[in-house]
Amino acid sequence: MQHNLFTTMRSLKIMDGCKGTQVYAFNPSGPNTGGGGGGGVGDKLLNHLQDHLRVNSIRSKLNRGFQAPPNTAPNVVPENLLPHGLPKTDLLEPRIEPCLKSVDFAETLADVYRRIENCSQFEKYKVYLEQCVIFRGLSDPKLFRRSLRSARQHAVDVHMKVVLAAWLRFERREDELIGYSAMDCCGRNLECPKASLVSGYDPESIYDSCSCSRTPREEVDDEILMGHEECSTSEEDGDMSFCIGDEEVRCVRYNIASLSRPFKAMLYGGFKESRREKINFSQNGISAEGMRAVVIFSRIKRVGSFDPHTVLELLSLANKFCCEEMKSACDAHLASLICDMEDAMLLIEYGLEETAYLLVAACLQVFLRELPSSIHTPNVMRIFCSSEARERLAMVGHASFALYYFLSQIALDEDMKSNTTVMLLERLQECAVESWQKQLASHQLGVVMLERKEYKDAQHWFEAAVEVGHVYSLVGIARAKFKRGHKYSAYKQMNSLISDYSPAGWMYQERSMYCCGKEKMMDLKTATDLDPTLSYPYKYRAVSLVEENQLGAAISELNKIIGFKVSPDCLELRAWFSIVLEDYEGALRDVRALLTLDPNYMMFDGKMHGDYLVELLRPHVQQWSQADCWMQLYDRWSSVDDIGSLAVVHHMLANDPGKSLLRFRQSLLLLRLNCQKAAMRSLRLARNYSTSEHERLVYEGWILYDTGHREEALARAEESISIQRSFEAFFLKAYALADSSLNLESSMYVIQLLEEALRCPSDGLRKGQALNNLGSVYVDCDKLDLAADCYTSALNIKHTRAHQGLARVYHLKNQRKAAYDEMTRLIEKAQNNASAYEKRSEYCDRDMAKSDLIMATQLDPLRTYPYRYRAAVLMDDHKENEAITELTRAIAFKLDVQLLHLRAAFHESMGDYISTTRDCEAALCLDPSHADTLELYKKPREQINEQQN
């Protein structure tokens, strides 16, 4: 009913912003570097690519509706073998991360944890926001989301609640779920749009069910009261009148005087109006109807029954005459009416003009909950982008670092080089007060200016970040100097950095940019030794090998990092090399996989859409039917070839894009590859393409589970089962329940759920997973024979990972040789077998274990068990310093609770209580509930207190 009240106010159309499409125009005459391959099919394919580049403009990745052009016979250009030549080492550059990066992350985390524990309740949200910024630079988005929830939990004012609740919603991307609108509520105070507009500190209530769906009694009460009060506005009820034009509005002098001190002064003070029965009020910008509403408000103190026109009049009058109670009532009522973008655009100006805090908050909430689409709406961005706009927001209490950090991060993701991004970052810098805020804003402005090739400005902002303590910005200064032609100065800059601080991989990576030959390769090797997760050294070495015509070795170099860290740029490079080798199946596999990670990826330095390259490669590989695809998927899944599996699923989705089951399979593969953002996108698509209610509920449950809402996920699973019993609903429920500490009773319930799942129809891929999980629960319940049966059944349907579970059973039965053999079989079958080497090490003697763990680390340096094992062995041999060095080496690029806890324990055993405390605090920053660390944390604090006393 209220929503319709705005219709008469909308005389002007609010212009919707359009997201422009950038067209890449380019010169196709790339240098012919004479890559591998001869004539025939290879020449035709590569000439087809070249012809495409010569005659077509490609839509940018902003164009989400790509359609492959029809097959047409290309003109053959024999002299051009590649569409853009081969990649050049001179054109490769490492990325400067647009985040806070510490030279000692453990100390930074420990400091944040200490301040969270020691600050006042009302200040906690600020420190949690800083923690969010630090976690943004780490690889686990769950840490960021957890910290964001904590910040929202401890938020005090409405503005911060609105910003953080909208950000949490954005992280779940509910806007991408069909049937959801921006203002829909998730059912909890944490993200509820109405709960966000309630001021006050109540950290325990955020996970409670919200009351936004209940029918408020205020409107009913208002209407009842309004009916009574309207009867009492006759002449005999008043003792004075306000004259507005030709109309008189009768009122009670005392009631009007009670609205504010100015009214009291006018009606009871020394002014002539205090002696008049009739007061001319025509020049005060309020209509007779509005004044009648004032009279009614003076009696009932409510505005719920007035239409928005009238409430706006009351708001304006309240500001003029300092009627705080009436202003608050108008502000709250108007805020409650904001439902969509049109409402918000219509009333934001009123709110800013009248400094209506809640009204502006409600409008901002709509804009923020419509992100990222609203960032492309000029009328929305006009409210945020300019200095004047920020000052207007600040006047109403709605300009904050948190707001502009949220907006600028989305702008960075959407288009780093846009003017909007620059303006939002400039406003972020203006809002920065604390040192870390200034570091972040200045550093990100430096990164953006570097991308825009405004090198002088980039250097200025990087220097500003360094000046307030951000050491990593020295990399930006060096890069800006290099771009301005000062290569030696850049080299000296990085040399000095390496000398002044504990060496880190990114330091050597950057210095390698400014030297050549053996010195460059040595720096890249050191960078990889210190931080094997940096992709640039692998890419540079691979392209160097291609320039030496060693394509096989180049692909092997890329395989090293793709084996544990999958990224579109490395997959693209490997596909590029495969085309030269005429390995079109390998190239197509990698292009399909990278398009799964980024559906809008532009190949060959942004000059060809990945989907078009797929169309060009397809005729040169064996064609598969959908049945063939399922067979291929089984083979790759059973050989633990996740990238190959991704490619097959991408192929199947091209033929059947609406297949929810395939989208769900895709999300599972992406999670296994630690590509959580892409996995969530696939899950949302699975949910959107669901053809039944029970299936949709399951996918919503997985989305909730993966974003940390376990109880809601269980509720979705139970609701799905109530509609129709299905494998996926039972499996989701079992998986979510097994995530907590299980006692015998709850373990038996999980077993029942998995058995129910196995009775429902499903394919072998999922049943193999269920059998594997069932085997694990049986092992935990000490039912080893039943566990072995489950693992054997899983192996019979090609669930290769079940070898690991069967090995565990043999080990618990003291059959170490059988366990070792089982893991050897897994190593032989699995393409991705780092975990197999790691697990096999548990079933052999120390020397063989050491060899297996070395192999595990080489295949996947992100696995933490090998470092912990080697460190423990060194401690056993009384080599304490070497043990700590082993852990420190891993902690430098993999901040992990177990690594930090073990290093803390080693420090404690050596009597170094300060270092113990630091590592415990860093670990607890990552996981505040880690029981072993909490226990260990007590001892050094007691020792330090005793020493101080």
Determine the Cα–Cα distance for residues 410 and 859; give it in Å rounded to an integer. 34
Query: Which candidate, 560, 565, 561, 590, places its Cα nearest to that of 575?
Result: 590
Q: What is the pLDDT of residue 175?
A: 61
In the chain, the amino acid numbered 294 is V
Q: Residue 877, class by beta-carbon neighbours within 10 Å (0-12 exposed, 13-18 middle, 19+ buried)? A: exposed
Judging by beta carbons within 10 Å of its beta carbon (0-12, 13-18, 19+), is residue 828 exposed, middle or buried? exposed
The DSSP letter of residue 84 is: S
Q: For residue 216, give the amino acid letter.
A: P
The whole-number pLDDT of residue 57 equals 34
Say which residue the tokens 């260990």 belong to.
Answer: 936
Q: Compute φ and ψ for 242, nearest 5 degrees.
A: -105, 125
Q: How many other C-beta atoms can be found within 10 angstroms of the C-beta atom of residue 93?
A: 15
- Give residue 379's pLDDT: 93
How far from the centroid of its chain's Cα atoms is residue 137's Cα? 11
The model's pTM is 0.88
So what's the architecture of 240-308+317-323 in CATH? 2-Layer Sandwich (3.30)
* Alpha-carbon torsion (693, 698, 702, 704), positive or negative: positive
* Strand partners of residue 251: 240
Partner residues linked to 280 by β-bridges:
243
Q: Give me the long-range contacts of 324-333 (CB less than 8 A, separation at least 24).
A: 324/260, 325/259, 325/301, 326/259, 326/294, 326/297, 327/354, 327/356, 329/297, 329/301, 329/302, 329/303, 330/303, 330/356, 331/356, 331/357, 331/358, 331/359, 332/197, 332/358, 333/303, 333/304, 333/306
Q: Residue 577 has which token pair? A: 């090399």
Which residue matches tokens 């919707």? 16
**Residue 82 three-state SS:** coil
pLDDT of residue 83: 61
* Mean pLDDT of each 10-residue bin along the chain, 949 residues long: 43 33 32 40 48 38 38 33 73 95 95 96 95 93 94 96 94 74 79 90 83 51 45 61 90 93 88 81 89 94 92 94 95 94 94 96 96 92 96 96 97 95 98 97 98 97 98 98 96 96 96 95 98 97 95 97 95 93 94 95 86 90 92 92 96 91 94 92 93 95 89 94 97 91 86 96 92 96 96 95 96 95 94 92 93 96 96 95 97 96 96 95 96 92 73
Burial of 283 (0-12, 13-18, 19+ CB in 10 A): exposed
Q: Are 818 and 810 in contact (CB under 8 A)?
A: yes
Element (H, E) at 280: strand 278-280
CB 740 within 8 A of CB 714: no
What angle do the packed helices 880-891 and 865-876 form, to 10 degrees?
A: 170
Which residue ranges does the chain devote to CATH 3.30.710?
240-308+317-323
Check residue 650 and give its pLDDT. Answer: 96
Name the CATH superfamily for 865-948. Answer: Tetratricopeptide repeat domain (1.25.40.10)
Distance, in Å, from the CA atom of 441 to the CA atom of 404, rounded to the nearest integer, reads 10
Distances (CA, A) of 886 to 16, 564, 775, 867, 873: 57, 20, 34, 6, 11
Quick check: helix, strand or coil at residue 243? Answer: strand
Radius of gyration, CA atoms only, the chain: 32
The residues that bridge with 278 in the sheet, in sequence order, are: 241
Question: What pLDDT score does 203 carry?
Answer: 87
Is the separation of the CB atoms in 940 and 920 below 8 Å?
A: yes
Alpha helices (H) along 581-640? 584-597, 603-606, 610-617, 626-638
Q: Single out the residue of 616, 792, 589 nearest to residue 45, CA to CA.
A: 616
Q: What is the pLDDT of residue 84?
A: 67
949: burial class by Cβ within 10 Å (0-12, 13-18, 19+)? Answer: exposed
493 contact partners, CB below 8 Å, separation of at least 6 = 474, 477, 478, 481
Residues in the chain, overall count? 949
> What residue ranges of the chain are covered by domains with CATH 1.25.40.10?
865-948
